[in-house]
Amino acid sequence: MTQNNDLQLHVAMYPWLAMGHITSFLRIANKLAERGHKITLFLPPKTQLRFAPQNHHPELITFITVALPPVDGFPSWAETTNDIPAESRNLLMTAMDLTQDTIETHLINLKPNIVFYDFTCWLPELARKHGIKSVIYLSGFIVGVAHSFQFMQFFVSQSDSNAHITSPSPPFPSPFIKMHAYEKQNNDNLSSGNVGGGMSFVERYFKSLQECDAIGVKTCKEMEGIFCEYIEKNYGKRVLTAGPVRPDPHTDELDERFSQWLAGFKPGRPFLAALKPPTGYETIESALPEGFTERTAGRGIVYGGWVQQQLILQHPSVGCFITHCGVGSLSEAMVNKCQLVMIPNAVDQFINARMMSGELKAGVEVEKREEDGFLSREAVCKAVTTVMDEENQVGREVRANHTRWREFILKEGVEESYISSFIKDLQQLLLA
């Protein structure tokens, strides 16, 4: 597909080096390239190889190698968050900050007219220096930014960040978007500590939002129009909606091990759990309770490696998807028929869960103990039963809403209309 425009865009992209962020940037890159626009994506060398199969327009999407400089304590072979424990992510951010001179050289030579970024808060100033517009590109719900904006302002401007505010003050446009006290405590930790450059995560993210020329986001106004308007009205930042940015269909097949196992079941209680090892364990197998593997033999699989999630979710034997509410997982779940049960763990996942369960009513969130967020197996079982029981009233409502939103996202012309408008908005940004 091609699209004639008065101005061909050349968009440079430098995402946070996490698999979900890179995937999201490459998805919008493919949509833009499909319509004749040029993309330059900055990535480390091994990561380029991993994502090369997802580059569907290599004649227009170019991967430029950016090697991460040495940082004390950061493995020389590591390139993404997948390669390191969570406590080392500040070192990855520090390494990305040290690429500033390299990125500037590339921008001078390549002369893009727009740069997309997320956590590299120094990129807007660098872009302005060379006459380039900057767009912070969000791969998740815009509601998270709307909800967080005033909190980020508070934390950045106050020396005392011990206040425990659990929901934004009026006139926030939704009663469903709020956080429990234990979640707020979890996120308060983001306002302290160094995630690179001597800044906390809150300071870095707030600067990224403050300095941009516009906010680009993978969302639809039918879902989040009130939150887009809230940001534009209260914080003076233009919000450019890219639409659903649906995952492209996979051309490969599901791994035979999983396809054969799934083919033997109808939707129900057998489980496939793809998990990362918990803190203190090198493998997921070593963390399992004694006798667990024997007790669940023939009924379930616990797998610690990478899985073809998109292909698994679309398998007809998968009836329910229990997710941590990462934006990539939610995007893939929304276009498939499996039901959603949500167990958010940190940061934006809490707000994503409220958006899905409260605002869109397209899934069920597992109830946790209010005082400390403790999660019980009984609560997980209750949530799964709710969405899977055909006689359950809440389950019927959730399934109907999930179907309605899935049909909207997949409706012919919806994505095309949004991407066309997104391109026009980017072109207008260049004229501002």
Amino acid symbol at 165: I
**Mean pLDDT for each consecutive 10-residue tract of the chain (432 residues)?**
67 94 94 97 96 94 97 95 88 96 98 97 97 94 84 56 49 85 73 76 88 96 95 91 86 82 72 83 87 85 84 88 89 92 88 94 94 90 93 95 95 96 97 84
Give every CB contact of residue 411 below 8 A, 6+ residues apart in sequence. none
> Which residues on adjacent β-strands are paired with residue 302?
273
DSSP state of 14: E
Q: Check residue 300 and give its pLDDT.
A: 84
Query: What is the reported pTM?
Result: 0.86
Q: pLDDT digits over 112-131, tens only?
A: 999 999 999 999 999 999 99
DSSP assignment of 17-68 equals SSHHHHHHHHHHHHHHHHTT-EEEEEE-HHHHHHHGGG-S-TTTEEEEE-PP
Q: Check residue 203 and give its pLDDT.
A: 86
Q: pLDDT digits over 311-338, tens only?
A: 888 888 888 999 999 888 898 899 999 9
Q: Which residue is catalytic, options 97, 118, 213, 348?
A: 118
Q: Which residue is catalytic, options 21, 106, 147, 315?
A: 21
Q: Which residues of 389-425 are buried (b: 16+ CB within 10 A; e: fewer)?
A: eeeeeebeebbeebeebbeebeeeebbeebbeebbeb
Coil/strand/helix, residue 177: coil
Q: Is the dihedral of CA 280, 285, 286, 289 positive or negative?
A: positive
The total of other beta-carbon atoms located within 10 Å of residue 84's CB is 16
Q: Check residue 187 and give its pLDDT.
A: 67
Residue 21 designated active-site: yes
- What is the rounded distance in angstroms from the CA atom of residue 260 to the CA atom of residue 239? 45
Q: What are phi and psi of 64, to 5 degrees?
A: -110, 130
Q: Are strands 114-117 and 61-65 parallel, antiparallel or unpaired?
A: unpaired
- What is the rounded distance in angstroms from the CA atom of residue 214 to the CA atom of residue 232? 10
> Which residues on adjacent β-strands are paired with residue 41?
13, 63
Coil/strand/helix, residue 182: helix
CA distances from 153 to 111, 150, 203, 204 (A): 33, 5, 9, 12
- What is the rounded distance in angstroms from the CA atom of residue 357 to the CA atom of residue 177? 10
Residue 180 designated active-site: no
Coil/strand/helix, residue 140: coil
Rg (CA), the chain: 22
- What is the rounded distance in angstroms from the CA atom of residue 41 to the CA atom of residue 278? 32
Q: Check residue 165 and give its pLDDT.
A: 46
